[in-house]
Structure 1
């Protein structure tokens, strides 16, 4: 009888440990499983060129998703990131004739300013983040279309620094990939080793309790929306360098992909729990899905969207069930 009880207790402990593992590393296990499947089905999948292309093509989304993760951790949401990417790229392309430095700084500054506007409206005016960032998304997209007269703005060859930011290499590693690595390590350190990071988690978990503990939620919200705006502008600048043009219609739907990557990484939409590196794994999972659908070659782009949406729904349901069991 005692042996039966001990086995039952051991089984329960094992089940809880497995649930914790799946909650924290579920998206990584899915990524590895998908990679194993793809390596058997597609001969070109594991080639260095293909793997490097997956990382390079999804670097800009990874930058945007990092800002989204920090905002969601604070209990907010930012629906303007896609439009800010387009605006940042357009501004950089328009300023490229004055030099790469001016173009890069101008592109990032323009979206950082709108991030500040988002933060002030959410924190000081106490408006809902959904409404504020939806307005900013519309305004930024309209501004990008207006100043370009609805056409792409070519980046002149003289702006070699801007082009290098999107297409260059350091050694054998693409510059955008290195930028992503540096940003994610810096964001992890900020969130887990600094007072600001602790405050982000605190207001995401319980804003009223954090206020009683001496945290200023308004400052934290202003900081996270500014950070998201800045990263969106950086992603737009890198994208303009990679494409060789600033496109006002770029990054449509990136806010959805950024939210999906964040949620797949285990960050709760209500805030207060999550981390940045699982978001990066979520971005790679999205990128791998696109890559496999393209390698398949028989699926139209419209059906690719349907399949991708269904897969994302399955992943989110899986994560939610595991979290509930834990």
Structure 2
């Protein structure tokens, strides 16, 4: 079986690029390393880290989850309604919302044998539709009493935003799950060759179910952060977030064909892409040039295309090397 980190995938490239960008930005912009910029950057991007971790597990099995953006929106709306009952209740409701969506995805894919692309696309449309129906097509304000607003705007030990703390805990759990537990080996085996995994006695359907449930739960938790940070459930938010997660995972070296991936490199991919747009915002502030959000989407798409081209070339060389042997 392949290991989750493979030198030919050059996952270390994302770390090199990340280091170079941080050095460049810290030298060019006075406020780049300011506590405010660091806190706001990681607090906002913690949502993308969560959905990217879930997406990484799914893609490693050879699947795809296009529903995460819709699930985030639906979760944020559901959480806003229960926000008067505190952050614990909100976290449970958000996670359950995502769990149900992820479980439905898994059932449709496994039992009905619908391709993951189609199944999760349907869930994306359904979850977004439910979010709009439940919210009445408008934002749902959260309750400003109790512990819920503190989650989105407070700091642990007056230092780390609470969404970042939760994100760190989940990232560590995900890394342990992939690198140290039998489940991680099963995920990689299913992605490498599903039929071979069945012959090995692995519970393929259970593994696939769990990765979609994990993806759904993490999208649900991202919805909690969205509602708490923006002060309202956002039924129209999350559009294109699935593409951001896929981009980050691919930038981190995970194969879209499955069987290979890295949680830490996927997180680095999120941070790398986030820093690129953070730098563009600084440049906008400097007045050097102005890039609209539309052009930012173009840049993100071109960046993803470049990474896919590089990844395809690496895989081609890997196949040629195996053939020569």
Q: TM-score, normalised by structure 1?
A: 0.89
Q: Does 1:311 align with 2:303?
A: yes
Map 1:181-220 → 2, pairs under 5 A:
181-220=168-207
Map 1:163-182 → 2, pairs under 5 A:
163-171=149-157, 172-182=159-169
Map 1:86-125 → 2, pairs under 5 A:
86-125=73-112
Which of 29, 53, 56 is residue 66 of structure 1 equivalent to?
Answer: 53
1:311 Cα deviation after fit: 2.7
Preserved contact between residue 289 and residue 308 of structure 1 (Cα < 8 Å) = no
1:142 Cα deviation after fit: 0.2
Q: Matched residue pairs, number?
A: 307
Query: Considering only CA atoms, is the larger Rg found in Structure 1 or Structure 2?
Result: 1
State the secondary structure of the residue aligned to 1:58: helix
Q: Deviations over 1:46-67 (max 9, x none)?
A: 3232223221210011001000
Q: Deviations over 1:249-300 (max 9, x none)?
A: 1111110000000000000001110110000000001110111111111222
Preserved contact between residue 123 and residue 217 of structure 1 (Cα < 8 Å) = no
Q: Do the aligned partners of residues 324 and 43 (structure 1) sit closer, same or farther apart at CA in structure 2, a change above 3 Å counting?
A: farther
CA distance in 2, matches of 1:114, 1:314: 32
Q: Does 1:274 align with 2:265?
A: no
Structure 2, gaps ≥5 residues long: 1-5, 285-289, 319-325
CA distance in 1, matches of 2:224, 2:53: 16
Map 1:4-83 → 2, pairs under 5 A:
20=7, 23-83=10-70
163-172 or 76-85, larger mean C-alpha shift: 163-172
Which residue is equivalent to 2:214? 227
Which of 139, 162, 165 is residue 126 of structure 2 equivalent to?
Answer: 139
Q: TM-score, normalised by structure 2?
A: 0.89
1:158 Cα deviation after fit: 1.9
Structure 1, gaps ≥5 residues long: 1-18
1:143 Cα deviation after fit: 0.2
Q: Does 1:301 align with 2:293?
A: yes
Preserved contact between residue 23 and residue 319 of structure 1 (Cα < 8 Å) = no
